[in-house]
Structure 1
């Protein structure tokens, strides 16, 4: 608001001749030069730019956010912290960072994407350099498949040209037309430049429910064996996850060259959430709203959710997705 008022004031004075009429030609030239410099200063100070003032990685912040806000995801949290930290601290990466997050709805995929953005970009998800594509919104018509491919390439090329440290989040990959994502394969590869543009400092994150059932089944096996879920390791899930997604003809990753050419750096599994994790989500939501945390209320919210398998009620079918609306009813 202050910047807008200053600009309007300067503009009004110049129109009425107060600025120009008050000085001789030499002084006027100097003043105009000073005004232009001031304008550039104001613009650079308040307008988001692709530089270290607006884009800087906070390793400690990401680690703290993951510990404080993400529950039941020891594998995902560890991979994300190491992968993002390693990439952001590398001044000369060989390719863009490509992460594919998989799991049931409400397990934290969108949340972790948000936390990554918040610890890289000063404006977080509101940054002009963070771009979110939702399959059902941006690519809804299979008949427009070829048009979407061309548009997607142009969108990404234009944004990376504008800022090489851009982030692209593709939500609902399981609903994307198979083959569409292959259009951006050259941007994710080990090329120095593609048509004069370097994509090596960009980040691509894919979110999908595909593979979630297999992840849940593996977690259930550990539970039935009486083993701690924290014993589950990436090696127990990653290979099977990549293959199941690659062979799923209902997924945007079906037979994709991104997987075939090993361009996805990490397939990140998100485990289904147990009752205790749902309670933690409810407590975290209370803190976010600056409400007094109430364990009894959190328990009531958690008990209302649907669990799988029905007899044992081990995993929340929708994770923590409906916690916010459920909490409205009890607070």
Structure 2
């Protein structure tokens, strides 16, 4: 039997039961003597009851169909209840799934523990450090100072490069013989002074040495180099015996020299350059000229007078230099360099020379003392070689040694021969060839 037939039969049975119950109730009521209700009212009541029972039956049947076939004692035609089959791995063995036996299982990532805060206070945020505005100002100050220092260093390099001290050093090492230590000392003074334009005092260097050791030659080389760098108008070579031979004219010479120096200094200040003043044969300078020069080199002058270089060349104290070299030649090591020998000479002779010069005039209290040593025979031979090359003669070593042997020397001390006249007679002997 199909599902619609079973549903109709069940509903018909329920309706017959309702009719029987209603009839029994009518009989009872009739026995009791109650008035018989109308036939139309009973018909409507029966219809309502049928509809209700039919709805309940259909609802119940639908619920049973959803649950599956019921147990053996259930009504015929009602779908049986079945429990869903649940798939589990309880009965599975490792041999059942051989393909997955060697596959490593992924490890679960451990969650980081949350930071717990006290319940009474609640969660607290980490306070952010407050930066002061003064920190940025400090950084800005550092940048400004760095830029200023870097700019100053660049300006110093530019100022030194203007005077080409490297070219001057090559010239002096090539042209000046036997005075390498003194040349290094002079270049050191020039580098320190010319590295900046603002000074608190002028540079005053006093070069001393016996006759023929190269003082005048050194002055000529410096004058030629500075003329090529700063111009002819900012370099002055003053020869006392030529510009002021008479002592009676010393006062007038001093005034004229002061006016000349003032004009050069003012012109150099306008051009932002440092002038050079060379005074050769300073041992013949008059007192009036020395007094005037001392006033110019004093540190209390105006700014333009502080930016100048004064070079004094003289043979003052030459006897002390000669005596010291002849007495201490045996203690001078042959392996000692030229700078080392000059440093030793400067250390021992500077106090003696300063004491002698300050007694002559207080001008030398403002000067840096630079002594020149005696020339040895090898240095004299270099002078002959250079002069013969200039004059166009063939530089025969035998001829040079013969000419150098005609020069007078001091007594040989520790295998050293010091010339009495230096290279002063070299030019005259070459001209006789």
Q: So what's the TM-score if we normalise by structure 1?
A: 0.72
How big is the shift at 1:63? 1.6
Aligned length, in residue pairs: 264
Q: Are 1:315 and 2:418 an aligned pair?
A: yes
Runs of 4+ in structure 1 off by over 6 angstroms are 310-313
Residue aligning to 1:3: none
d(CA) in 2 for partners of 1:75, 1:315: 17
Contact 2:233 2:264 in 1 (8 A): no
1:1-331 equivalences in 2 (<5 Å): 56-122=162-228, 127-164=232-269, 165-191=274-300, 193=302, 198-225=304-331, 227-228=333-334, 230=338, 231=341, 232-247=344-359, 254=360, 256-259=361-364, 262-264=365-367, 266-289=368-391, 291-309=393-411, 314-330=417-433
Aligned-pair CA distance for 1:144: 2.4
Partner deviation per Cα, 1:101-139 (whole Å, 9 max, x = no partner): 101122111222223233333179x82322111121222
Alignment CA distance shift 1:146-1:236 (3 Å): same
User: Which structure has the greater CA radius of gyration?
Assistant: 2
- TM-score (normalizing by structure 2): 0.56
The alpha-carbon deviation at position 94 of structure 1 amounts to 2.0
Query: RMSD value over aligned CA atoms?
Result: 2.8
Following superposition, the deviation at residue 304 of structure 1 comes to: 1.5
Deviation by residue 1:51-101 (Cα, 9 ceiling, x = unmatched): x9xx93112112212221212213311111101122122222222211111
Q: Distance in 2 between matches of 1:112 and 1:86?
A: 19
What is the distance in 2 between the residues matched to 1:298 and 1:244? 38
Instruction: Please tell me whether the aligned partners of residues 75 and 233 of structure 1 are also in contact (alpha carbons under 8 angstroms).
Output: no
| CA distance in structure 1 between the partners assigned to 2:346 and 2:248 by the alignment | 38
In the alignment, is the contact (CA less than 8 A) between 1:107 and 1:320 conserved in 2?
Answer: yes
Q: More helix per residue: 1 or 2? A: 2
Moved more, 288-297 or 131-140: 288-297
Q: Which runs of 5+ in 2 are unaligned?
A: 1-157
Aligned mates of 2:206, 2:409 — CA distance in 1? 26
**More relative contact order in 1 or in 2 (CA 8 Å, sep 6+)?**
1
User: Aligned equivalents of 2:183 and 2:169: distance in 1?
Assistant: 8
| Uncovered stretches (5+) of structure 1, i.e. residues with no partner | 1-51, 248-253
Instruction: Name the CA distance, whole Å, in 2 between partners of 1:163 and 1:297.
Output: 48
